[in-house]
């Protein structure tokens, strides 16, 4: 028997290490012969810590939310007694979360131990690499990728084969293949999951890509905020090097290729290719004008190809299963699968990998289980700060690059932040703009000052100080910022504002002209009142941090609106529904 504990960052954050210690202690105490191992994240982050118990016959039982206090029963009843603790096992509807997915990128995540190359080899690891370097030409590899229809998963969705081919075709002393592992969108963690759960599939993708374009050196630009990912990558690279999969004369093919990691300091803009290259070269991470594109003049002015983690993680699968098999998934234009990070007001948050073309509804409701507390679904923000809001009435939109773009949002790196009726769309736009304007590198005037001014306008709207003409000013600035910015950050920064104006203009107008926030979320525009349901229990007045509530015991309480800081503590506290937000 074998106990495998999920130890991605999400598992560790919920206490997987303590769970493991408890298992070790209990198993030792009970004296059972059980091997303990760990794996990466399986995607159901909301259920961590997850513990899989494998019978010797291969049957597996998945326990969820295994805090140390649940360990003793599992050991005693299951490991010793052989009886599954049904109470702790994954519920069928949660299992569905996984079953409804189609996993290519995440194929090994949560299944293998990322720190053991043997486990990766056991599932067919490095076979693709071997095939490529020993029996395929560069063009054949590129052709296979072309057939697969794989497009860059970092956001822009540019055909991968085209970039490889361009880098291959451009002359240069050295060529470089770079992995962008600088996952920066708030709420996106698909790359981290691969890095932590299946680092070898990234390494394999890079070797194959490097071979195809003729690079001998690869760099993984990984954000320093991912220490576990860096650690597991380093282990994986060392193991691969030891096995001869990296370094000189890979598989005796004569092809030399090696990798190194560069830890980035976490600037969002370094996700932009040219800024990433500047950062790699030790310069300030600032984009430069394109052309020349990195495929012609990139790292140290040499032909350079940059793909993100998810893109590379598909490559070995494509070689193993054939481009056509990959292309058979998804739609005509958007092939294969895509990993999404479901977050926000959703019941089941986590990573899901689905074939492209699935309707948003199927992802959010079918897999994600719908909205928390069964509230009204309002919109989903796709593509992070560069993306946009898709409103409820477009929920049937298929998740493809083309269809999502039509809504004004983008697939992006795959973030899906779900919003319910309590989310103020103006405030939401303000949040994302605040993010991008802080992360602007400061080079282009429009991006540096324009986003700041847009933010100021949004702030005054959410304060109820919006002026007639503000919406038009936002639209004007947005258009000019998109037009006048050099890189993707500035060109897309206004998207959340534009899409919310497009779909929720009435909310903007409510703020500006009626001084009301439809979602009752903007503090300056709401007030709390105590209705006659009040029984005078005094609970709210005791909780109020500023002493704004007064009233006799068993008498009607009142809120002093001058003093009230609108923290909402009273509303949470009242058991009689006597407090209302207006």
Q: How far is the CB of 295 from other proteins (least distance, A)?
A: 17
Q: Which residues contact 153 (CB under 8 A, 6 or more apart)?
A: 105, 307, 308, 310, 311, 314, 338, 339, 413, 414
Q: Give the C-alpha separation, 417 to 219, whole Å.
A: 31
CA atoms within 13 A on the CB side of 54: 13
Binding other proteins (rule: CB under 8 A), the pick from 135, 445, 506, 531 is 445
DSSP label at residue 513: I
Alpha-carbon Rg for the chain in angstroms: 26
Q: Which lies closer to other proteins via its Cβ, residue 43 or residue 384?
A: 384
**Contact between 13 and other proteins per CB under 8 A:** no
Q: How far is the CB of 435 from other proteins (least distance, A)?
A: 10
CB of 374 closer than 8 Å to CB of 421: no
CA atoms within 13 A on the CB side of 84: 16
Binding other proteins (rule: CB under 8 A), the pick from 22, 94, 191, 439 is 439
Q: Which of residues 378-407 bind other proteins (CB under 8 A)?
A: none
CB of 339 closer than 8 Å to CB of 228: no
Q: Give the C-alpha separation, 285 to 264, whole Å.
A: 9
The span of 102-110, 225-233, 478-486, 520-528 binding other proteins (CB under 8 A) equals: 478-486
Q: Is 152 helix (H, G, I), strand (E, B) or coil?
A: coil
Q: Which lies closer to other proteins via its Cβ, residue 44 or residue 492?
A: 492
The span of 121-129, 412-420, 484-492, 560-568 binding other proteins (CB under 8 A) equals: 484-492
Q: Which lies closer to other proteins via its Cβ, residue 449 or residue 567?
A: 449
CB of 220 closer than 8 Å to CB of 261: yes
Q: Is 247 helix (H, G, I), strand (E, B) or coil?
A: strand
Give the binding-site size for other proteins (rule: CB under 8 A). Answer: 31
Q: Which lies closer to other proteins via its Cβ, residue 377 or residue 446?
A: 446
Q: Which lies closer to other proteins via its Cβ, residue 26 or residue 451?
A: 451
Q: Which of residues 213-272 bind other proteins (CB under 8 A)?
A: 267, 269
Binding other proteins (rule: CB under 8 A), the pick from 449, 537, 539, 571 is 449
Q: How far is the CB of 445 from other proteins (least distance, A)?
A: 5
Q: Which of residues 278-297 bind other proteins (CB under 8 A)?
A: 284, 286, 288-289
For β-strands 217-223 and 176-181, DSSP reports them as parallel
Binding other proteins (rule: CB under 8 A), the pick from 17, 131, 372, 453 is 453
- Report CA torsion sign: 444, 447, 448, 450: positive
**Contact between 558 and other proteins per CB under 8 A:** no
As a dihedral over the C-alpha atoms of residue 427, residue 429, residue 434, residue 437, rounded to 10 degrees, the angle is -160
Q: How far is the CB of 458 from other proteins (least distance, A)?
A: 12
Residue window 179-218: x/- pattern of binding to other proteins, with contact defined by CB under 8 A: ----------------------------------------
Nearest to 6 by CA among 76, 60, 85, 77: 60
Binding other proteins (rule: CB under 8 A), the pick from 55, 242, 249, 456 is 456
The span of 27-35, 222-230, 411-419, 450-458 binding other proteins (CB under 8 A) equals: 450-458
Q: Which lies closer to other proteins via its Cβ, residue 139 or residue 476?
A: 476
Q: How far is the CB of 449 from other proteins (least distance, A)?
A: 4
Nearest to 412 by CA among 498, 339, 518, 505: 339
Q: Which lies closer to other proteins via its Cβ, residue 407 or residue 440?
A: 440
**Contact between 443 and other proteins per CB under 8 A:** yes
Q: Which lies closer to other proteins via its Cβ, residue 238 or residue 473?
A: 473
Per residue, what are the HEC states of 524-553? HHCCEEECCCCCCCCHHHHHCCCCCEECCC
User: 571: burial class by Cβ within 10 Å (0-12, 13-18, 19+)?
Assistant: middle
Q: Give the C-alpha separation, 103 to 351, whole Å.
A: 11
Q: Which lies closer to other proteins via its Cβ, residue 158 or residue 238?
A: 158
Q: Give the C-alpha separation, 210 to 315, whole Å.
A: 12
Q: Is 467 helix (H, G, I), strand (E, B) or coil?
A: coil
Binding other proteins (rule: CB under 8 A), the pick from 440, 495, 500, 521 is 440
Binding other proteins (rule: CB under 8 A), the pick from 307, 397, 451, 521 is 451
Binding other proteins (rule: CB under 8 A), the pick from 452, 515, 520, 569 is 452
Q: How far is the CB of 453 from other proteins (least distance, A)?
A: 5
CA 70 to chain CA centroid, nearest Å: 30
Q: How far is the CB of 286 from other proteins (least distance, A)?
A: 8
**Contact between 476 and other proteins per CB under 8 A:** yes
Nearest to 366 by CA among 377, 358, 374: 358
φ, ψ dihedrals at 518, nearest 5° = -55, -40
Q: How far is the CB of 142 from other proteins (least distance, A)?
A: 28
Q: Which lies closer to other proteins via its Cβ, residue 205 or residue 285?
A: 285
CA 29 to chain CA centroid, nearest Å: 40
Q: Give the C-alpha separation, 197 to 106, whole Å.
A: 8
The span of 46-54, 190-198, 419-427, 476-484 binding other proteins (CB under 8 A) equals: 476-484
Binding other proteins (rule: CB under 8 A), the pick from 81, 442, 547, 555 is 442
Binding other proteins (rule: CB under 8 A), the pick from 437, 511, 557, 566 is 437
Q: Give the C-alpha separation, 536 to 574, whole Å.
A: 10
CB of 307 closer than 8 Å to CB of 152: yes
CB of 489 closer than 8 Å to CB of 268: yes
Binding other proteins (rule: CB under 8 A), the pick from 221, 446, 504, 508 is 446
The span of 42-50, 141-149, 483-491, 544-552 binding other proteins (CB under 8 A) equals: 483-491
Q: Give the footprint of other proteins on this chain (CB under 8 A).
A: 267, 269, 284, 286, 288-289, 437-446, 448-453, 456, 473, 476-477, 480, 483-486
């Amino acid at each position: 028997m074998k106990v495998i504990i999920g130890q991605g960052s999400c598992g560790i954050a919920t206490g997987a290490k303590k769970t493991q210690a408890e298992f070790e202690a209990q198993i030792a105490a009970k004296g059972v012969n059980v091997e303990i191992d760990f794996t990466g994240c399986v995607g159901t982050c909301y259920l961590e810590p997850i513990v899989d118990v494998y019978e010797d016959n291969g049957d597996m039982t998945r326990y969820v939310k295994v805090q140390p206090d649940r360990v003793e029963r599992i050991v005693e009843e299951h490991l010793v007694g052989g009886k599954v603790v049904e109470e702790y096992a994954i519920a069928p509807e949660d299992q569905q979360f996984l079953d409804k997915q189609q996993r290519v990128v995440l194929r090994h995540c949560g299944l293998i131990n990322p720190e053991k190359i043997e486990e990766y080899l056991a599932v067919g690891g490095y076979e693709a690499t071997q095939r490529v370097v020993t029996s395929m030409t560069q063009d054949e590899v590129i052709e296979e990728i072309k057939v697969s229809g794989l497009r860059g998963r970092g956001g822009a969705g540019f055909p991968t084969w085209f970039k490889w081919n361009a880098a291959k075709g451009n002359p240069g002393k050295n060529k470089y293949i770079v992995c962008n592992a600088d996952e920066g969108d708030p709420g996106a963690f698909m790359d981290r999951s691969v890095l932590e759960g299946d680092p070898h599939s990234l390494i394999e993708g890079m070797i194959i890509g490097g071979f195809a374009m003729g690079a001998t050196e690869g760099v993984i630009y990984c954000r320093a905020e991912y220490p576990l990912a860096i650690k597991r990558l380093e282990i994986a690279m060392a193991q691969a090097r030891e096995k001869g999969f990296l370094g000189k004369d890979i598989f005796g093919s004569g092809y030399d290729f090696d990798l190194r990691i560069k830890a980035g300091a976490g600037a969002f803009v370094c996700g932009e290719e040219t800024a990433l290259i500047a950062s790699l070269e030790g310069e300030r991470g600032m984009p430069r004008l394109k052309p020349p594109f990195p495929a012609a003049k990139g790292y140290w002015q040499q032909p350079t190809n940059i793909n993100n983690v998810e893109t590379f993680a598909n490559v070995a699968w494509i070689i193993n299963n054939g481009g056509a098999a990959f292309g058979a998934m998804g739609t005509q234009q958007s092939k294969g699968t895509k990993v999404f990070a479901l977050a926000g007001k959703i019941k089941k948050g986590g990573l899901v990998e689905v074939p492209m073309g699935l309707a948003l509804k199927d992802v959010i409701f079918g897999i994600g289980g719908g909205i928390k507390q069964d509230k009204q679904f309002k919109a989903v923000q796709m593509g992070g700060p560069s993306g946009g809001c898709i409103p409820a009435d477009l929920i049937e939109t298929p998740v493809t690059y083309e269809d999502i773009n039509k809504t004004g949002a983008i697939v992006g790196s795959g973030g899906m932040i779900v919003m319910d009726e309590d989310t103020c769309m103006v405030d939401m736009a303000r949040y994302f703009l605040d993010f991008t304007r802080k992360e602007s590198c400061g080079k282009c005037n429009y991006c540096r000052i324009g986003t700041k001014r847009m933010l100021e306008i949004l702030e005054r709207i959410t304060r109820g100080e919006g002026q007639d003409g503000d919406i038009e000013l936002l639209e004007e600035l947005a258009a000019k910022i998109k037009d006048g910015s050099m890189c993707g950050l500035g060109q897309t920064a206004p998207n959340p504002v534009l899409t919310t104006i497009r779909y929720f203009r009435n909310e903007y107008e409510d703020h500006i002209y009626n001084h009301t926030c439809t979602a009752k979320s903007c503090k300056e525009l709401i007030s709390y009142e105590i209705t006659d349901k009040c029984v005078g229990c005094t609970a709210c007045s005791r909780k109020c941090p500023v002493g704004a509530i007064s009233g006799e015991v068993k008498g009607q309480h009142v809120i002093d609106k001058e003093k009230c800081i609108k923290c909402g503590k009273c509303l949470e506290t009242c058991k009689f529904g006597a407090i209302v937000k207006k």
